Amino acid sequence: MDRDTRLHLYREMLRIRQFEEKVRELAMANELPGFFHLYVGEEAVAVGVCSNLKKEDYITSTHRGHGHLLAKGADMNRAMAELFARETGYNKARGGSMHIAAPEVGMLGANGIVGAGIPIATGAAFSSKYQKDGKVAVAFFGDGATSQGTFHEALNIGASFSLPVVYVCENNLYGVSTRQSKVRKLEDIAERAKAYDMRGIIVDGNDIEAVCDAAGEAVRLARNGEGPTLIECKTYRHYTHFVGEPDNYRPREEVDTWKKKDPITGYAQRLIREETAVQEELDEILRSVNQEVEKAVEFAKNSPKARPDTVFDDVYAN
Partner 1 sequence: MSIMSYSKALGAAMAEEMRRDDKVVCIGIDLQYYGGAFGVTQGLCEEFGEDRVVNMPIAEAGYTGLAVGAAATGLRPVVELQFGDWVTIASDQLVNQAANMRYMSGGALSVPMVMRLPCGGFGAAAAQHSHMFESWFAFVAGLKVMCPSTPEEAKGMLKTAIRENDPIIFLEHRQCYEMKGEVTEDPEFTVPIGKAAVKREGKDVTIVTYSYMVHFALEAAKILEQEGIDTEVVDLRTIKPMDTETVLNSVKKTHRVLCLQETWLTCGVAGEVAAVIADLAFDYLDAPVKRMGSPDCPAPFSPDLETYVLPSVNGIVQAVRELME
For partner 1, give the closer residue by CB, 197 or 284.
197
Residue 58 and residue 108 in contact, taking contact as beta carbons nearer than 8 Å = yes
Query: 115: phi > 0 → left, psi -120 to 50 → alpha, else beta; which?
Result: left
Crossing angle of helices 3-28/43-50, nearest 10°?
Answer: 140
The contact mask relative to partner 1 for 222-261 (x = CB under 8 A, - = no) is ----------------------------------------
Within 137-156, the residues that bind partner 1 by CB under 8 A are: 137, 149-150, 153-154, 156
Binding region for partner 1 (CB under 8 A) out of 126-134, 173-181, 267-275, 289-297? 126-134
Selected binder of partner 1 within 27, 79, 124, 282 (CB under 8 A): 124
What residue type is 160 in one-letter code?
A: S
Instruction: Tell me how far apart the alpha carbons of residues 291 and 18 are, in angstroms, rounded to a whole number.
Output: 10
Closest CA to 117 of 162, 58, 54: 58
Cβ neighbour number for residue 288 with a 10 Å cutoff: 12
Query: 280: phi > 0 → left, psi -120 to 50 → alpha, else beta; which?
Result: alpha
For partner 1, give the closer residue by CB, 44 or 102.
102
Q: Least separation, in Å, of the C-beta of 89 and partner 1?
A: 7
For partner 1, give the closer residue by CB, 113 or 278.
113
Binding region for partner 1 (CB under 8 A) out of 62-70, 89-97, 222-230, 246-254? 89-97
What is the three-class DSSP state of 128? helix
* CB-based contacts of 8, cutoff 8 Å, min separation 6: 51
Residue 92 in the binding site for partner 1 (CB under 8 A): yes
Alpha helix stretches (DSSP H) within the chain: 3-28, 43-50, 66-71, 76-83, 117-131, 149-160, 208-223, 252-260, 263-273, 279-302
Residue 99 in the binding site for partner 1 (CB under 8 A): yes
Selected binder of partner 1 within 23, 46, 59, 102 (CB under 8 A): 102
Selected binder of partner 1 within 73, 112, 216, 266 (CB under 8 A): 112
Instruction: Tell me how far apart the alpha carbons of residues 19 and 7 are, in angstroms, rounded to a whole number.
Output: 18
Q: Least separation, in Å, of the C-beta of 103 and partner 1?
A: 5
Selected binder of partner 1 within 65, 109, 175, 263 (CB under 8 A): 109
The contact mask relative to partner 1 for 6-45 (x = CB under 8 A, - = no) is ----------------------------------------
For partner 1, give the closer residue by CB, 99 or 223.
99
Rule CB under 8 A: which residues touch partner 1? 58, 60, 89-95, 99, 101-104, 108-109, 111-113, 116, 118-128, 130-131, 137, 149-150, 153-154, 156-157, 160, 313-318
